[in-house]
Amino acid sequence: MEDFCFILFELQTLQSMTDSKLNHSDFDAFSSIYLHLRNKEGRLLNDEQVRSLPSADTLDSVLQSEWEQRADSLKKLSRILKKDFKRDSCILDLGCGNGWMSNAMAKLGFNTTGMDINLKELNQAKRVFQRENLDFILASIFDWKPQKEYKAVIISAALQYFHSPKELFDRLFTIMPQLESVFICDTPFYSKKEKEAARKRSLLYYQSQGSEEMSAYYYHFSLEDLGFNPNIRVSTSSALFRVFNPNRTTFPIIEISASK
């Protein structure tokens, strides 16, 4: 098994449960915990599996179900982006992981940048997905200075790793004056009453996986926590609908614009 404890990064910041920023050792700790957990879950895929995403024919049944929902989410997000933005617009995929979403956006014709702080998956993304209109960068959004005029930011299954959505959105709209929209997808949201129960479930799960420390880096949000008025472009499906359509996404697609 690979040794996840010595993955080094060139970054200086990561938001934690406090308002302070983490130093290098904290950053390395997060990456080690994250990768160890994902490896144990079977979510660190090989190059051929990543290249085929969101198709998941070679994955186990649990992951297949998840990726079928992500494929459905991608279809809905793609329709929105093709309708709202010119095909050569610059898009940032924030928290891109292994780069599958970045690649999907580039295939649609958008000039796409995938950004992440996870060196292992980012290197895989660079290795697997190579297009003229696609690039990947290792950076923290809180340090980074964009060199392109980005029109949209996608945050897919990554918002829960940021301490404060409002702080993140403020940062995005500050450093990208031309930014029109931030799209959040494949992300759970809870009512205020549900959040504490969700935290407890997550903690119990991480404990069962031997990764209790992960609970310090994973956050649970309600729509009110966003700090901006959310425009719900795709609503969450009803429980009954999901029973008969298990491959449909269970999460909304939310748009955040510069005006609160």
Provide, rounded to the nearest whole percent, the portion of the chain with pLDDT above 70: 84
Q: What is the pLDDT of residue 247?
A: 54
In a domain, 187, yes or no: yes
Q: Render pLDDT for 213-235 as a digit per residue (tens, 0 to 9).
A: 999 999 999 999 999 999 999 99
Distance between CA atoms of residues 137 and 96, nearest Å: 10
In a domain, 235, yes or no: yes
- The secondary structure of the chain as a DSSP string is ---GGG---S----B-SSSSBP-HHHHHHHHHHHHHHHHHHT-S--HHHHHHTT--TTS-HHHHHHHHHHHHHHHHHHHHHHHHS-TT-EEEEET-TTSHHHHHHHHTT-EEEEEES-HHHHHHHHHH---TTEEEEE--TTT---SS-EEEEEEES-GGGSS-HHHHHHHHHHH-TT--EEEEES-----HHHHHHHHHHHHHHHHHTT-GGGGGS-----GGGGSS--EEEEPPPPHHHHHH-TTS--S-EEEEES--
The CATH number of residue 108's host domain is 3.40.50.150
The tens-digit pLDDT sequence of the chain (260 residues) is 333 332 333 333 333 322 334 444 455 677 789 999 999 999 999 999 999 999 988 898 889 999 999 999 999 999 999 999 999 999 999 999 999 999 999 999 999 999 999 899 999 999 999 999 999 999 999 999 999 999 999 999 999 999 999 999 999 999 999 999 999 999 999 998 999 999 999 999 999 999 999 999 999 999 999 999 999 999 976 443 444 445 556 899 999 998 75
Query: pTM (2 decimals)?
Result: 0.86
In a domain, 200, yes or no: no
Number of domains in the chain: 1
- Beta bridge mates, 91: 112, 152
In a domain, 204, yes or no: no
In a domain, 250, yes or no: yes
In a domain, 229, yes or no: yes
Helix axes 119-128, 24-41, angle to 10 degrees: 60
In a domain, 210, yes or no: no
In a domain, 199, yes or no: no
| Domain membership of residue 136 as a residue range | 4-193+219-257
Longest CA pairwise span in the chain (Å): 48
Selection from 136, 148, 143, 112 nearest residue 27 by Cα: 143
Q: What is the pLDDT of residue 198?
A: 96
